[in-house]
Amino acid sequence: MAFSKQVVVFLVLVGLFNLCNAQGLKLGFYKKTCPSVEAIVKKETASIMAVAPTLAAPILRMHFHDCFVRGCEASILLNSTTNNQAEKDSFPNLSLRGYGSIDRVKSAVEKKCPGVVSCADILALVARDAVSFLNGASWPVPLGRRDGNVSNSTEALFNLPPPFFNITQLKASFASKGLNTKDLVVLSGGHTIGTSHCSSFTNRLYNFTGVGDSDPSLDSNYVARLKRRCSATDTTTLVEMDPGSFKTFDIEYYSVVAKRRGLFTSDAALLADSETRAYVTSHATPQGSKDFLKDFAKSMVKMGKIGVLTGSQGEIRKTCGFVN
């Protein structure tokens, strides 16, 4: 019993520590040191999205993957070294793209304000502006994050919720980062943009329980369609997560999930919990669009405060792929 109390006290202290750090973030943080930072980021991001709008999804996912490992401190951007395999080379991150875009934005900011703006803040801003470019939500991004100097591939494996998680595992994963069940179902709506490799869901098509069967929670007609796209060993073909609408940040994802056509086990899991199922069904109609965008903005602000470094912690990297 004493041990349990100690664990509870420890978790409370960790939560308070993260909260104190998050309070070090504020709107207008660079008002005096780099007042044009948001304008620079928005301009560069718009230029990138105009040429490659499909980068929005992996950049949004990059921000999510950064925050879930060590907090939002840009450890996802660090390159591996001879003696260390970094997060970006961990299996869950191998399909991420857009590192060069973050470097491009960082370079533009460095030209105007050298050594002032962190890579963590730039990643948070680019993710926001990329989503906004696709007619999605927009949100105020409190700034003041500093960059970490540790990145370990193993930590990505243990901290990132994989696509095969069930609802209990998903809720526990999000709760460990200070996010609640509503944040889980709302942030899952980010799957309204982007694609996935077949290998992330073919287990649901060909050998779900080890006897050559399909996942019964996946619509049988959709199973047949997906089998025409993906063989059991396909690792290269890309499939839209929100068919017909994967380049627009909208509410269609919830209609897809409600029809039992979410690609991942983690998508289907949203129908296995009363709270997440209620959100899915109520937002599977166009009427829920404004509420979803508002909810997504709120959850993104919350996610962007996970485990941040502020004040004198960490550093301001000169180049995002390397510690100073």
Res. 34: pLDDT tops 50: yes
Q: What number is the average pLDDT over the span 37-53?
A: 97
CA angle 141, 139, 178 (to 5 degrees): 70
Closest by alpha carbon to 155, among 266, 71, 60, 265?
71
Q: Which of 117-126, 186-195, 287-296, 305-314 has the least mean pLDDT?
A: 287-296
65 tagged catalytic: yes
- What pLDDT is attached to residue 22? 74
> How many domains does the chain fold into?
2
Domain's final residue, options 134, 159, 184: 159
Which residue out of 63, 65, 197, 283 is catalytically annotated? 65
87 vs 6, residue with greater confidence: 87
Residues 298, 175 share a domain: yes
CATH number at residue 206: 1.10.420.10
The set of residues, in sequence order, having a beta carbon less than 8 Å from that of 37 and lying 6+ positions away, is 30, 109, 112, 113, 116, 117, 121, 125, 143
Check residue 253 and give its pLDDT: 96
pLDDT at residue 12 tops 80: no
Confidence band, pLDDT 50/70/90 cuts, at residue 285: confident
As annotated, the binding site for Ca(2+) includes 66, 69, 71, 75, 87, 192, 242, 250
Sole residue written with tokens 């970006």: 88
Q: How much is the pLDDT for 23?
A: 77
How do residues 116-136 score in pLDDT, each as one tens digit? 999 999 999 999 999 999 999
Binding residues for substrate: 161
CATH assignment of the domain containing 72 = 1.10.520.10
Task: Give the structural domain span for 277.
Answer: 167-302
**Residues annotated within a binding site:** 66, 69, 71, 75, 87, 161, 191-192, 242, 250
CA-based end-to-end distance of the chain: 45
Exposure of 79 by Cβ count < 10 A (0-12 exposed, 13-18 middle, 19+ buried)? middle
- Same domain? For 183 and 274 the reply is yes
Q: Residue 17: pLDDT above 70?
A: no
Q: How far apart are CA 200 and CA 267, in angstroms?
A: 12
- Is the pLDDT at 189 greater than 50? The verdict is yes
Claim to verify: residue 41 and residue 118 sit in the same structural domain: yes
Same domain assignment for residues 135 and 226: no
Question: Are residues 154 and 199 part of one domain?
Answer: no
Residues 116 and 40 reside in one and the same domain: yes
Under DSSP, the state recorded for 242 is: S
Question: What's the mean per-residue pLDDT of the chain?
Answer: 92
138 and 240 co-located in one domain: no
User: pLDDT tier at 14 (50, 70, 90 boundaries)?
Assistant: very low
Residue 315 backbone dihedrals phi, psi, to 5 degrees: -155, 175
The model's pLDDT over 196-241, given as tens digits with 9 standing for 90+, comes to: 999 999 999 998 998 889 999 999 999 999 999 999 999 999 999 9
Tokens of 320: 């995002």
Instruction: Give kind and range of the element (H or E) at residue 57.
Output: helix 56-67
93 contacts 76 by C-beta, under 8 angstroms: yes
Averaged pLDDT, 63-86: 97
Per-residue pLDDT at 21: 65
Domain shared by 76 and 109, yes or no: yes
The whole-number pLDDT of residue 64 equals 98
